[in-house]
Structure 1
Amino acid sequence: MTAPADLQQMMQKVVLRLTGPGGRFEIVEEDVRGNRMQVMRNRDRRVGDLVAESRRWGDRDYIVTADRRISFVEHADAVAALATALRDDYGVGKGDRVAILAANTPEWIITFWATQCLGAITVGLNSWWTPAEIAYGAELVEPKVIVADAKRAAHLAAADVSGFTLLGIEEDVPRIVAERSGAELPSADVDEDDPAVILFTSGTSGRPKGALHSHRNLLAVVDYHRYSDALVAAMRQVPYDDSVPSDNRYLLASPLFHIASLHNLAVPRLATGSAVVMTEGAFDIDKVFSLIEQERVTNWGAVPTMAARMLEHENPGKYDLSSLTAFALASAPSSPALKQRLREKFTFADQALVDSYGLTECSTAVAVATAPELEAFPGTLGSPIITVSMEIRDPFGERVPDGTEGEVCVRSPYVMLGYWKDPAATDAAITADGWLRTGDYGTVENGRLRLTGRRSDLILRGGENVYPTEIEQRLDEHPDVVESAVIGVDDDDLGQEVAAVVVLRPTSTVTEDDLRSFCAERLAYYKVPTVWRITQDLLPRNATGKIVRRAVTV
Structure 2
Amino acid sequence: MTTAISSTRTIADLLLRAAENHPGSGLLHPRGDAGPDGSWLQPYPELVDEARRILTGLRVRGLAPRDNVVLLLERPQEFLPAFWACLLGGFVPVPMAPLGGDPERWAAQLGHVNTLLDRPLVVTTETLAAELPRVDGLDVTPLSGLYATEPAAAPHEAGPDDTALLVLTSGSTGNSKAVRLTHANLLASMAGKNGHHRLGPDDVSLNWVSFDHVAALLECHLLPLYAGATQLHVEAAVVLGEPLEFLRLISRHGVTMTFTPNFLLGLLNAAADRLEETGPVDLSRLRHIISGGEAVVRTTGETFLHRFAAHGLRPDALWPAFGMTETCAGSIYSQTFPAFDQGQEFANLGTPVEGLRLRVVDEHDRELGPGETGELQLIGPMITPGYHNNEQATRDAFTADGWFRSGDLGRLDDGRLTLVGRSKDSVIVNGVNYFSHDIETVLEQLDGVARSYVAAFPTRAPGSDTEQLVVAFHPETADGDELALYRVLSAVRSGVVMHWGFRPALILPLPKDAFPKTSLGKIQRALMRKRLEAGAYRDTTDAVADLVLRRLGGYTAPEGDTERILAGIYAEMFDTDPEKLSATANFFDLGGTSLDILRLRSLVAQRLGAHGLQIITVLTAPTVRELAARLGEDAGAERPYDPIVPMQVVGDKTPLFCVHPGVGEVLVFVNLAKYFVGDRPFYALRARGFNPGEKPFESFEEMVSTYVDAIRATQPHGPYAVAGYSYGGAVAFEIAKVLEAQGERVDFVGSFNLPPHIKYRMNELDFVETAANLAFFLALIDKKQSLDLPGQLRHLTREEQLAHFIGLAPPARLAELDLTLEKFTAWATLADGLTDLGRTYVPSGSVRTMSVFYAIPLRGTKEDWLDNELSRWDEHCPDVRYLDVPGEHYTLMGPHHVAVFQSVLRKELDRALGDAG
| Partner in structure 1 of residue 473 of structure 2 | 502
The alignment status of 1:250 with 2:220, answered yes or no, reads no
What's 2:93 paired with? Answer: 122
Picking from 384, 387, 390, the partner of 1:422 is 390
Give the fraction of aligned pairs with identical amino acids, expressed as a percent.
21
The offset of 1:205, in angstroms, is 10
Partner in structure 2 of residue 221 of structure 1? 189
Q: Does 1:540 align with 2:478?
A: no
- Give 2:226's aligned residue: 271
Answer yes or no: is the 8 Å Cα contact 2:341–2:348 preserved in 1. yes
Taking structure 1 as reference, are residues 205 and 288 closer, same or farther at Cα in structure 2, changes over 3 Å only?
Answer: closer
CA RMSD of aligned residues (A): 2.9
CA distance in 2, matches of 1:415, 1:191: 17
1:87 is matched with which residue: 59, 67, 74? 59
- Judge conservation of contact 1:83–1:186 (CA < 8 Å) in 2: no
Match of 2:248 in 1: 290
Pick closer, same or farther for the CA change 1:470–1:161 going to 2, 3 Å.
same
What stretches of structure 1 of length at least 5 have no aligned partner? Answer: 1-17, 19-23, 26-39, 233-244
Deviations 1:288-338 (A, max 9, x none): 333222211111111112212221222325322222122221111011111
**What does 1:201-216 correspond to in 2, within 5 Å?**
201-203=169-171, 207-216=175-184
Which residue identity does 2:270 align to in structure 1?
E
Task: Read off the aligned partner of 2:267 and give its amino acid letter.
Answer: R
1:119-268 alignment to 2 at 5 Å?
119-127=90-98, 130-142=102-114, 143-149=119-125, 152-153=128-129, 155-157=131-133, 160-168=134-142, 172-173=143-144, 176-177=146-147, 180-203=148-171, 207-230=175-198, 246-268=201-223
Alignment of 1:458-497 (within 5 A): 458-478=426-446, 480-482=448-450, 483-490=453-460, 495-497=466-468
Q: Which residue of 2 aligns with 1:365?
A: 330
**Contact 2:208 2:236 survives alignment (8 Å):** no
Equivalent in 338, 350, 354 of residue 319 of structure 2: 354
In the alignment, the residues of structure 2 paired with residue 435 and residue 280 of structure 1 have an alpha-carbon distance, to the nearest angstrom, of 36
| C-alpha distance in structure 2 between counterparts of 1:161 and 1:529, whole Å | 33
Change in 2 beyond 3 A, CA 1:91/1:137: farther
Answer whether contact 2:164 2:183 (CA < 8 A) is retained.
Answer: yes
Deviation at 1:154, TM superposition (A): 5.3
2:55, 2:152 within 8 Å by CA — same for their partners in 1? no
368 and 298 in structure 1: CA distance in 2 versus 1, 3 angstrom threshold: same
Listed as ranges, the matches of 1:319-330 within 5 Å are 319-330=281-292
Q: How far does residue 252 in structure 1 lie from its aligned partner after superposition?
A: 0.5
Give the 3-state SS of the residue equivalent to 1:434 in structure 2.
coil
Cα displacement (A) at 1:272 = 2.0
Q: 1:288 to 1:336 in 2, by over 3 A?
A: closer
With 379-388 and 313-322 compared, the bigger mean Cα shift is at: 313-322
1:337 aligns with 2:283: no
Question: Does the CA contact (< 8 Å) of 1:390 and 1:411 recur in 2?
Answer: yes
SS in 1 for 2:137: coil
Structure with the greater relative contact order (CA < 8 A, sep ≥ 6): 1 or 2?
1
- Counterpart AA for 2:458: G
2:274 maps to 1:315: yes
Determine if contact 1:49/1:187 at 8 Å carries over to the other structure. no
Match of 1:36 in 2: none
Question: How far apart are the structure 1 equivalents of 2:475 and 2:408?
Answer: 33
Determine which of 45, 48, 66 is the counterpart of 1:76. 48
Partners of 2:15 and 2:106 lie apart in 1 by 30
How big is each residue's C-alpha offset from its partner over 1:131-187, in whole Å with a ceiling of 9 and x where there is no partner? 444334433332432223466445522xx324233334xxx43x643xx23413542
Distance 1:226 1:289, change over 3 A: closer
C-alpha contact (below 8 Å) 1:458/1:467 kept by paired residues? yes
- Higher mean alpha-carbon deviation, 192-201 vs 509-518, is at 509-518
Q: Secondary structure at the match of 2:177?
A: strand
Contact 1:126 1:200 in 2 (8 A): no
Q: 1:61 to 1:196 in 2, by over 3 A?
A: closer
Contact kept, 8 Å, 2:284 with 2:314, in 1: the verdict is no
Q: Could you report, residue by residue, the CA deviation over 1:216-235 in whole angstroms, capped at 9, with x for unpaired residues?
A: 222222222443455x8xxx
Q: In 2 relative to 1, CA 229–495 (structure 1 residues): closer, same or farther, beyond 3 Å?
A: closer
3-state secondary structure, aligned to 2:214: coil
More strand by share: 1
- 2:56·2:146 contact (CA, 8 Å) conserved in 1? no
Per-residue deviation at 1:96?
Answer: 1.6
Structure 1 residues 340, 44: closer, same or farther in 2, change over 3 A? same
Structure 1, 493-502 or 388-397: larger mean CA deviation? 493-502
Aligned-partner Cα distance in 2 for 1:402–1:431: 21
Query: Structure 2 vs 1, CA of residues 193 and 132 (structure 1 numbering), >3 Å: closer, same or farther?
Result: farther
- For residue 345 of structure 1, what is the amino acid of its counterpart? R
CA contact (8 A) 1:63 1:69 kept: yes
Pairing 1:40-51 to 2, within 5 Å after superposition: 42=6, 44-51=8-15
Give, in whole Å, the separation in 1 of the partners of 2:368 and 2:173.
28
1:120 Cα deviation from its structure 2 partner: 1.6
- What TM-score do you get using the length of structure 2 for normalisation? 0.50
Paired residues, number? 492
Of the candidates 395, 411, 415, which is equivalent to residue 363 of structure 2? 395
Residue 300 (1) aligns with residue 258 (2): yes
Paired with 2:524 and 2:226, the residues of 1 have a C-alpha distance of 49
Relative to its length, the structure with more helix (as a share) is 2
Question: Aligned in 2, Cα 1:434/1:256: closer, same or farther, shift over 3 Å?
Answer: same
Equivalent position SS for 1:421? coil
Partner of 1:238: none
Q: Which has the larger radius of gyration?
A: 2
- Normalising by structure 1, report the TM-score: 0.81
1:126–1:205: structure 2 CA closer, same or farther, 3 Å change rule? closer
Identify which range, 531-540 or 447-456, moves more after superposition: 531-540
Q: Does the 8 A contact of 1:254 with 1:261 survive in 2?
A: yes
Contact between 1:94 and 1:119, CA under 8 Å: does it hold in 2? Answer: yes
